[in-house]
Chain A
């Protein structure tokens, strides 16, 4: 391939440490001439190799340890087989060599065009009442989101308290030691094939550090605050650290569908809650239905710390996401609340993992899934209690609702209990919308469609009530859209 040859040349010609110049993207990413960038990214960007990884690292001007880490991770990725569980058929369709692993943000807007965004996505934006600027951003067309100014004062406020809230690339530059101390300590690249892939080619994501005793739990930090083109990146890397006694609530994603021409999204999210800290991570994923969303999320909760995952999965073709909490020290708590909605052509393979290694730790998992028409929703969970984790309490509840005779719901909970002085409870229930409930509502003069919607909204209420109001409203509207024309 002549492209490849040319490419290699471009790569070798790169100056060793060219980029960490300015603060804004134009300087930072506009370093190359548009021509050179085009050559590199458009022709050489597809596919995965050490060369690609090297280029990503160099363009970002990363320290050597990160460069080494990426290469090591790539080796791990290449050596690991694809998972032999889950939706192996869909996973088998993934072609790793046919994916752009890094596209410069400044190039991104040139790649996508508002006209290319499918009509169904645009219609959904309209129905959800999302402003045009935001629509374009969500559509992956606009690289910059105008609201940055709005959040500026908020950012200053956080800074005064010593809170660090940056995108991951920026954090690596501004706080290299802090990043190095925690990076990949919760999810090593060898954890699984997709974590290895992310480790090799990660880009963007959030970095949050909340110092001792600082409480920013009242107003959630949102991914929007630090908006740039990369926060919707394919291979996000997020790291959240709450120091002793700190409290933080982070919200990622939104209820509007996110259009992207990229076929694979594989994020890694690491959360570390020090003694008595509290972290809640809320995410609602609504990728377009052509996306593979294979995410590794894990938290460590130290003494008396609490970690909560609130996880909604509405979009994507295949989602595999099992938020995990490692209850490492005495008194740690975990709460995982997840909702999945799978329509035709979708497989939501979601769940939760809780690992109890210390005394008197407790966890609660609540999972709600809805499979509609030909959708597949799976709950895949793991509860592990190690010997010595005396007095641990676990409660798992999985409810599944089936709408349509071709819908499918699977439940695969695993419980490994190696300690006797514990209390473990698991319950699951699968059924369709109850005729009795429908009858009751229709007898009150409510149309059958509305009644069904009411029941579905009631079914996921334990989830929606945990969301900030505007998200809850949007989510309800979205469910309403998904339910339109449902025949049950």
Chain B
């Protein structure tokens, strides 16, 4: 399957990086050198603290050792072109319909990054470029946003991404640009087991609106891939941004993923949905910093683990502006010997009044041998707030199963129905262009019960 399945006739302004890949522009040199120093200087994260208690950080250390990565993007000369089949990636590609999207970025770690936009989106003013080419026209925007939140000082592995990122993706909606159809980012990892460092910057200007769907796939079903991804999303005054991230790597992959949405401007809104199905070990850190006043943030999570997969998700809602509203619903389903850790923080800073923050984490354990850890945290430094969180862990409700059995439904089907019901509210939120895939990943896991 090639990258050209999509009907490009409808798309214009193709940006494609040559296969040799450009070196990052000098404008990033200082940023990356600083991050490099930080990565080297900083010790491993403290395992006694919640964030790393359940996942060994040493596995995310940069192990390729090649200093040829010095300036970021160079691919080792002997890197093979992606071989083998990645059914998940191909299906995703097939399902993309130009009528339902405004832009698509095909980021194939071993080949190239290609970004295409629909004429409608171009006309509306949408900007989507490889990060390395964005410096020419948007250096000011980059300077004010890139790595300002998730950069050298964020953490050791975020510093690593900041110094080694490959051709990142820059998506920018200038002020008053409202794009209804989603922008799809489709990533295919390397067919060699080298580390890849995807990097994304999304900037939504005042009164603008964007929807981004970000999907991560392995190069094929067998390679033990390694990825360290960083995404930063900025929402300016009165903007709306929806960001969906779907991770469906193969079960041998090691993935580290950090995302921050910063609602910089007043009355800005964001929605973040993370659906994780793949990887052997998936460590994800997602958060929204509500800096402006009267911002609204919704976060949803869906994890479905099987076999010996290990998921470790952290979410944050940080209230730094008054009158914020946030809600979070994180659902986990585990079978076989899968392990999930969820840590979630709501923080309301001093004198940040009239915030409302809600958080719920529900873990469904389908059989013995599964493990779920849940740590929902509240740090409330102001009295004018309403904050709640709730967490549950347990098996499927036998009463529900009994009810379905009494209607003549076989047990396995009954369990499937109940699990689908558990995840359905989250699935419904997804854009229609993404729903069929996520549903199929749920069904794939429910097939063998």
Q: Which residue of the partner chain, among B351, B366, B369, B378, contacts A405 with CB atoms under 8 Å?
A: B351
Answer yes or no: B371 CB below 8 A from chain A CBs: yes
Smallest CB separation, B411 vs chain A (Å): 16
Residues of B within 8 A of A431 (CB): 385-387
Report whether A405 and B382 are in contact in the complex, using a CB–CB cutoff of 8 Å: yes
Q: A423-B394, A428-B390 are in contact. Are A410 and B368 (CB under 8 A)?
A: no
CA distance A425 to B371 in the complex (A): 16
Determine whether the beta carbon of B387 is less than 8 Å from that of A419: no
B424 CB within 8 Å of chain A: no
Determine whether B228 belongs to the interface, using a CB cutoff of 8 Å to chain A: no
Q: Do A409 and B380 touch across chains, with their CB atoms under 8 A apart?
A: yes
A424 and B394 contact, CB distance less than 8 A: yes
- For the complex formed, measure the closest distance between the CB of A193 and the CB atoms of chain B, giving whole angstroms: 13
B375 touches A406 (CB 8 A): no
**Binary CB contact string for chain B from 378 to 406 against chain A (1 if under 8 A, 0 otherwise):** 11111111111111111100000000000
In the assembled complex, B374 has its CB within 8 A of some CB on chain A: yes
Instruction: Determine the chain B residues whose CB is within 8 A of the CB of A425 once the complex forms.
Output: 390-392
- Name A407's closest neighbour in chain B (CB-CB): B383
Residues of B within 8 A of A387 (CB): 368-369
Contact B393 A417 (CB under 8 A): yes
Contact present for B394 and A422 (CB under 8 Å): yes
Listed stretches B42-50, B137-145, B184-192, B415-423; interface member: B42-50
Assess the A420–B368 pair: CB atoms within 8 A.
yes
A residues within 8 A CB of B382? 402, 405-407
A417 contacts across to B, CB distance below 8 A: 363, 365, 371-374, 393
Interface status of A430 (Cβ within 8 A of chain B): yes
Chain A nearest CB from B345 CB (Å) reads 9
Tell me the complex Cα distance, A430–B367, Å: 34
Does chain B have a CB within 8 A of A412?
yes
A420 and B380 in contact, given A406-B350, A427-B390, A428-B388 (Cβ under 8 angstroms): no
Q: Are B388 and A430 in contact (CB under 8 A)?
A: yes
- In chain A between 414 and 444, which residues have their CB closer than 8 angstroms to a CB of chain B? 414-432
A408 on the B face (CB < 8 A):
yes
Given contacts A404-B383, A408-B381, A430-B385, contact A413 B375 (CB under 8 A): yes
Bound: A431/B366 CA distance, A: 35
Per the bound structure, the CA–CA distance linking A124 and B282 in Å amounts to 56
B388 pairs with A427, CB closer than 8 A:
yes
Closest to A388 in B: B368
Selected contact of A85 from candidates B49, B353, B373, CB within 8 Å: B49
Q: Does B431 contact A (CB under 8 A)?
A: no
Could you tell me if B384 and A405 are in contact, using CB atoms closer than 8 angstroms?
yes
B26: interface (CB < 8 Å): no
Q: Which residues of B contact A371 (CB under 8 A)?
A: 383
User: Is chain B's interface secondary structure helix, strand, loop, or mixed overall?
Assistant: strand
A400 within 8 A of B: yes
CB distance B376 to A413 under 8 Å?
yes
Chain A minimum-CB-distance residue to B392? A425
Task: Identify which of B369, B391, B393 gathers the most chain A CB atoms within 10 Å of its CB.
Answer: B393
A414 touches B375 (CB 8 A): yes
B377 adjacent to chain A (CB < 8 Å)? yes
- Establish whether residues A420 and B367, one from each chain, have CB atoms under 8 Å apart when the complex forms: yes
Q: Is the CB of B391 within 8 A of A415?
A: yes
Inter-chain contact A413/B391, CB cutoff 8 Å: yes
Closest to A399 in B: B388
A475 lies within 8 A of chain B by Cβ: no
Contacts of B383 in A (CB 8 A): 371, 402-407, 432
**A371 to B350 Cα, complex, angstroms:** 14
- Give the CA-CA distance A410 to B369 in the complex, in Å: 32
- B389 near A427 (CB under 8 angstroms)? yes
- Assess whether A33 is interfacial by the CB under 8 Å rule: no
B370 contacts partner chain A, Cβ-Cβ < 8 Å = yes
Say how far B43's CB is from chain A's closest CB, in angstroms: 13
A290 within 8 A of B: no
Complex CA distance for A413 and B390, rounded to whole angstroms: 10
B167 to chain A, nearest CB (A): 39
Inter-chain CA distance A406–B372, complex, in Å, is: 35
Beta-carbon contact of B370 and A400 below 8 Å: no
- Tell whether A84 is near chain B: CB-to-CB under 8 Å: yes
- Chain B residue with Cβ nearest A373: B383
Give bound CA distance, A68 to B449, whole Å: 56
Q: Is the CB of A412 within 8 A of B375?
A: yes
CB distance from B435 to the nearest CB of A (A): 28
B354: min CB distance to chain A, Å: 11
Inter-chain CA distance A300–B299, complex, in Å, is: 40
- B residues within 8 A CB of A420? 365-370, 394-395
For B368, what are the chain A residues with a Cβ–Cβ distance below 8 Å?
387, 419-421
A109 cross-chain contacts in B, Cβ below 8 A: none
Q: How far is the CA of A20 from the CA of B6 in the complex (A)?
A: 92
Residues of chain B at the chain A interface (Cβ within 8 Å) = 46, 48-50, 350-351, 353, 363, 365-395
A413-B376, A419-B368, A422-B394 are known contacts; what are 5 more A-B pairs with Cβ within 8 Å? Answer: A413-B377, A416-B373, A420-B395, A421-B395, A428-B389
